[in-house]
Chains A and B, each alone.
Chain A
Amino acid sequence: MFRNNYDSDALTFSPQGRIFQVEYAQEAVKQGSVVVGIVSKTHAVLAALKRNAEELSSYQKKVIEIDAHYGIALAGLASDARVLSNFMQQQSLSSRLTYDRPIALAEITHRLSIRAQKSTQQHGRRPYGVGLLIAGIDTTGPHLFEFQPSGVTQEMVACAMGARSQMARTYLERHVDEFEACGKDELIKHALRALKESLSQDKELTVDNTSVGISGEDEAFILLDGQSVVPWLNATFENREGGEESMEVDS
């Protein structure tokens, strides 16, 4: 049952200096459905593939608005993401109340990383089993940060995480030099195309399973879900088969 002797808690180093519990938490991220994030010189976009537990259940919310100027996309344990997003919302609100300024994305990411690291070094705690993409605009421009359960955070130009995200990442690497100059429309199209790369052969992006979040300078963070995402799907994938308005049932 155990892969090895050293993986029972986050407090144990393996002889090679690895902490297996943290690495297993990263696996939880890989089980979640794919999310993609890209920044240009003026905008930041998040795109996510939503899943439903059963045919008749609702789809798991993957993109969360944190403050007027940024939002997050999650992959992994959604309940852990809720705890972290609540924390981020509190911190962001506090910054607006105390200083009347939108919190800098590097700062909130840093606070997240400190919080997440604690749970990798204390008895009885486990690492957060969710990866986040934090995207938005602050006074220094658009930013995209990747957050991993280990507490490692990195600023990226584009990123993808979740099941089969390697395909999305390959698409992003191919186009990485184009992103900086992209306008809002192009950026969303790139994100949706990258997302599509990670879908299995028979799947499609539909009104039910796609979420997009976009923010730009002097534009608040907008969450596009349901009908509001349809025009973007149509614009990106020209030869879509019918069924934009009908309820697609994903199996």
Chain B
Amino acid sequence: MNHLPQAWGRPRDDVYGAYDASHFQMSGPTQHSSRPIVTGTSVVAVKFKDGVVIAADNLASYGSLARFTDVKRLRTFNSKSVLGFGGDVSDMQYLDRLLNSLSVRENYSTSIDDSGKSDLDAHNLHRYLSKVMYKRRSDFNPLWNHILVAGLGEKDAPFLASVDLLGTTFSSPTLATGFGAHLAQPILRRQVPDEAASKELSQEKAVELIRECMKVLFYRDARSMDKYSIAVISKSGVDLKEDEKLENQSWAFAEGIRGYGTQVN
């Protein structure tokens, strides 16, 4: 029997049945994600000899409107890993706050003179994120994102993996989300067809490769922008540049497209 004051005078559950708790819901109607609203487009990344390069443009589209032009879709975690978010921006913000609070909590248990050996690395972070994404999918309330996790994994080996709104995960030396999967991956794969090739790739070549992919995406992805962020993760930390502009664009190929400009044929 519950003798505490909150149960005084309360009819017994086993005699009258339990209260219908749905009448006491203060949180409003239950919501389930049905579609993303403000979205970011592709994220591309490639592993090289000593680390990973990852890039994403700075645009958040509102359907076909290029609405927010200074959105940073590359977010660092623990100054050691970088996540690139494609998809819904508000879900990206939710995950950013969630991971920030995770980072604050993890910071509590590491001792300072530890050289960061027991920090969460990219592999742990990816595993954790995949649990979160899968759980939300199973609730029919997904976080509408496709995320690339880039950083250093076990024994400081370069780590790159993907996790999406369905909780699907995979890993590869080259990865891209959204349109990048169709337009950038073939370019990346031609240079880096397998793990062995990625172990030979230098940082300069990797950065050049990614910049090339960002250029192609701007040519062909209608929801992209020519300003982007690019990050290089290696043993010396994260080098994040957030206001890169695409260079050496050549739109001459457009002349050959039917219907372009004043052409009629």
- Spell out A's residues near B (CB within 8 Å): 97-101, 104, 106-107, 110, 138-140
Q: Report yes or no: B124 in contact with A99, Cβ–Cβ below 8 A.
A: yes
Question: Do B109 and A98 have beta carbons less than 8 Å apart?
Answer: no
B79 within 8 A of A: no
Is the pair B118, A138 in contact by a Cβ cutoff of 8 Å?
yes
* Given A98-B131, A106-B111, residue A140 in contact with residue B124 (CB < 8 A): no
User: Which of B109, B117, B131 is A106 in contact with, Cβ under 8 Å?
Assistant: B109
Q: Would you call B127 an interface residue if the criterion is a C-beta within 8 Å of the partner chain's C-beta atoms?
A: yes
Q: Is B128 an interface residue (CB 8 A)?
A: yes
B85 to chain A, nearest CB (A): 20
**B114 adjacent to chain A (CB < 8 Å):** yes
Chain A residue nearest to B102 (CB atoms) is A99
Partner of A139, one of B111, B118, B128, B131: B118
B80 at interface by CB-CB < 8 Å:
no
Q: Across the two chains, which residue of chain A brings its CB closest to B114?
A: A140
Does B146 interact with chain A (Cβ within 8 Å)?
no
B109 neighbours in A (Cβ, 8 Å): 104, 106-107, 110
Assuming A98-B128, A99-B127, is B118 touching A104 (CB within 8 A)? yes
Which residues of the other chain, B, contact A101 by a CB distance below 8 angstroms? 120, 124
In angstroms, Cα B111 to Cα A107, docked, is 10
Q: In the complex, given contacts A98-B128, A140-B118, what are 20 additional A-B residue pairs having Cβ atoms less than 8 angstroms apart?
A: A97-B131, A98-B127, A98-B131, A99-B120, A99-B127, A99-B128, A100-B123, A100-B124, A100-B127, A101-B120, A104-B109, A104-B110, A104-B118, A106-B109, A107-B109, A110-B109, A138-B118, A139-B118, A140-B114, A140-B117
Shortest distance from the beta carbon of A55 to any chain B beta carbon, whole Å = 46
Which of chain B's residues has its CB closest to A138's CB?
B118
Closest 5 CB pairs of A and B: A99-B124, A100-B127, A107-B109, A139-B118, A104-B118
Q: How many residues of B contact A (CB 8 A)?
A: 12
- Closest Cβ of chain B: how far from A219's Cβ, in Å? 17
Residue of B nearest to A100 (CB): B127
Residue with the highest number of chain B CB atoms closer than 10 Å, among A99, A100, A138, A139: A99
Q: How far is the CB of A155 from chain B (nearest CB, A)?
A: 10
User: In the docked arrangement, what's the CA distance between A101 and B131, Å?
Assistant: 14
**A106–B128 Cα gap in the complex (Å)?**
21
Residues of chain A within 8 A (CB-CB) of B114 are 140
Identify 23 residue pairs between A and B in the complex whose beta-carbon atoms are under 8 Å apart, listed by A's number: A97-B131, A98-B128, A98-B131, A99-B124, A99-B127, A99-B128, A100-B123, A100-B124, A100-B127, A101-B120, A101-B124, A104-B109, A104-B110, A104-B118, A106-B109, A106-B111, A107-B109, A110-B109, A138-B118, A139-B118, A140-B114, A140-B117, A140-B118
Q: Which of B121-176 contact A (CB under 8 A)?
A: 123-124, 127-128, 131
Chain A nearest CB, measured from B102 CB (Å):
10
Bound form: Cα–Cα A140–B117 in Å: 6
What separation, in Å, do the CA atoms of A107 and B127 have in the docked complex? Answer: 19
A residues near B124, Cβ cutoff 8 Å: 99-101
How far apart are B106's CB and chain A's nearest CB, in angstroms? 9
In Å, the complex CA distance between A149 and B128 comes to 33
Mask: chain B, 207-224; 1 = CB below 8 Å from A; 0 = not: 000000000000000000
How far apart are the CA atoms of A93 and B219 in the complex, in Å?
48
A31 to B151, CA, bound (A): 51
**Chain A residues, CB < 8 A from B128:** 98-99
In the assembled complex, how far is the CB of residue A82 from the closest CB belonging to chain B, in whole angstroms?
A: 25
Q: Which residues of A contact B110 (CB under 8 A)?
A: 104
How many angstroms from the CA of A138 to the CA of B117 in the assembled complex?
10
Q: How far is the CB of B22 from chain A (nearest CB, A)?
A: 31
Query: What residue of chain B has the Cβ atom nearest to residue A108's Cβ?
Result: B109
For A107, the chain B residues whose CB sits under 8 A away are 109
- State which residues 84-126 of B face A: CB under 8 Å: 109-111, 114, 117-118, 120, 123-124
Which B residue sits closest to A104, measured CB to CB? Answer: B118
